[in-house]
A and B are shown apart, each in its own frame.
Chain A
């Protein structure tokens, strides 16, 4: 098996390397450049693509390099030079601060984003499925409410939520975060699109003839068929909650309950009078985006389809 895969891998690798025919084509591409005024040329197009990508990537690379430096090197050495390699010291400093508070924050972020992603998305998928598959009175006006929910900016409801939560004494508890993250109107909208394209009516009809009730057929047929949609909605909800800043900032005072986004911004505040916090802010930032980067790279297929479903319909 392994001997078999090697040559395959090698041919795959050599494919982009075998530029000779491409090079030959270059001359024709140049001719067409003259004709098309530059835009269509391979060099211009790919050059611009590289430039655009550099703009996107360089700040993240800077974060990577900066996290390997101690405070003195950060200000003293050229940004993309490796000074004394202090990444592990920085990580140790992050871990030691306030008895490992940083990892508590990471844990909180995982809890909030995880509940939002798993439970919140299930709630959205069920609602979206019902909007697509069931007939009931008032369907259009109920869906209208969902759309209004999509259109109201999150931050506009944060203060109202805080005001209400302080009346019922729920501020500064995990519920002040966990309940709002369950509400994802855009997820309902997406789920409706997915239900109509992934779950054929005939399948449900067949299940009904076989005697399955609607709840049973949702869990044994509808939900598995919509799984790619569920994962997409969950991924975006996970990222959305992980990135949420204003809600936890407003709701939580206890440092033990903070998610990592607010925690790091508190450290950034400390770093103004105490520059020794700067490497910790930078290293903490890097550590906090690693889970998201991994999730996005692993789940590429899903977020691409998710963005499309949202925009095309």
Chain B
């Protein structure tokens, strides 16, 4: 101890007398704590992305007749143009956009409503409801998609059977309904998670404010809409951000559902497109370009959402 103590603070003080050395720590000690994380960060995120960017500038080209060894040629942005010009990639992006347009309002809307209901003064058994509503989040995406795939399959599904009993013939897996069917899986998986976040934010609303509103004659709905809701907007901003990033990841659910129906093509969403490029079409350079486009899209969208929500929160 006596050996250790002087070395660190002394060196620190000598190096940067101006800076506060509150706990006798500085760059050197911080480095010991930070190196493990930044090492894995470099290996698992930075290096792969940089390598992919490099890869995306090259292409494998065979000589005129397709014989002989393929050569690696620098093609600049050609791969990006090809990906963005590919009809299947663009329609995948459009499909993802449509998915977001349905999924985000439905999921976030139900989470807000459920959290407000849970926070209503007359709500009972709050702990139990929280646990039940969170239950789907403990179910892995693969299993959730599997369960719903069976619940959509005629012959095995109680849902389809019940609807048929009521005279409704419906095929959740046909080309028109498969998108809403996948939206439903996402809603099922993520609503409860966000209910918990919003409910905790609601619990933090000072009770005096609510009491004052009640005294002023505001009813429960009025209080929920004009007092509680504005106060949970910051939490809602964070939820929107993570939801948008989450939807760009869409891969597991469609790839599981694809085994139950031909309505989902191998290039249905951008991630499936990139997977298909790498493992079916064996065009790694295009797959790299597609991955970079998806990551870039995520970065742009999250920047927009962060800007927007921080502006919303600053009156």
Interface check B210, CB cutoff 8 A: no
Contact A127 to B36, CB < 8 A, known contacts A36-B221, A152-B298, A156-B298: yes
**Chain B residues with CB below 8 A from A292, complex form:** 138-140
Inter-chain contacts of A40 with B (CB < 8 A): 120-122, 219-221
Interface string of B274-285 (1 = CB under 8 A from A): 110011000010
- Cβ B37 vs Cβ A188 within 8 A: yes
- Residues A307 and B23 in contact, CB atoms below 8 Å apart: no
Q: Which listed residue (B2, B188, B191) contacts A59, Cβ 8 A? A: B188
Does chain A have a CB within 8 A of B20? yes
Q: A130-B30, A152-B295 are in contact. Are A250 and B275 (CB under 8 A)?
A: yes
Whether A208 pairs with B49 at a CB distance below 8 angstroms is no
**Is A288 close to B, CB under 8 A?**
yes
Per DSSP, chain A at the interface is helix
Q: How many residues of A contact B (CB 8 A)?
A: 111
Q: B45 contacts which of A129, A152, A211, A242 (Cβ < 8 Å)?
A: A152
With a cutoff of 8 Å between Cβ atoms, the chain A residues found around residue B204 in the complex are 312
Digit string of A58-74 for contact with B (CB within 8 Å is 1, else 0)?
01101100100000001
Contact partner of B299 among A55, A152, A161, A281, CB < 8 A? A152
Inter-subunit contact B140/A288 (CB<8 Å): yes
Closest to A271 in B: B259
Which of B5, B33, B41, B260 interacts with A183 by CB under 8 Å? B41
Within 64-103 of A, Cβ neighbours of B (below 8 Å) are at 66, 74-75, 78-80
CA distance A259 to B55 in the complex (A): 29
Q: Are B135 and A136 in contact, with the CB atoms below 8 A?
A: no
A148-B129 in contact (CB<8A):
no
* B151 is an interface residue with CB less than 8 A from chain A: yes
B24 touches A135 (CB 8 A): no
Tell me, rounded to whole Å, the shortest Cβ–Cβ distance linking B59 to chain A.
Answer: 14
Contact flag A151-B150 (CB < 8 Å), given A46-B124, A159-B52, A163-B51: no
Contact B156 A53 (CB under 8 A): no
Q: Which residues in chain A, 7-66, are within 8 Å of chain B measured between CB atoms?
A: 16, 29, 32, 35-37, 39-42, 45-46, 48-49, 52-53, 55-57, 59-60, 62-63, 66
Task: Tell me whether B251 and A126 are in contact (CB under 8 A).
Answer: no
Asked if B105 is at the interface (CB within 8 A of a chain A CB), the reply is no
Complex A-B, nearest 4 residue pairs according to Cβ-Cβ distance, in ascending order:
A79-B158, A40-B220, A160-B48, A130-B33
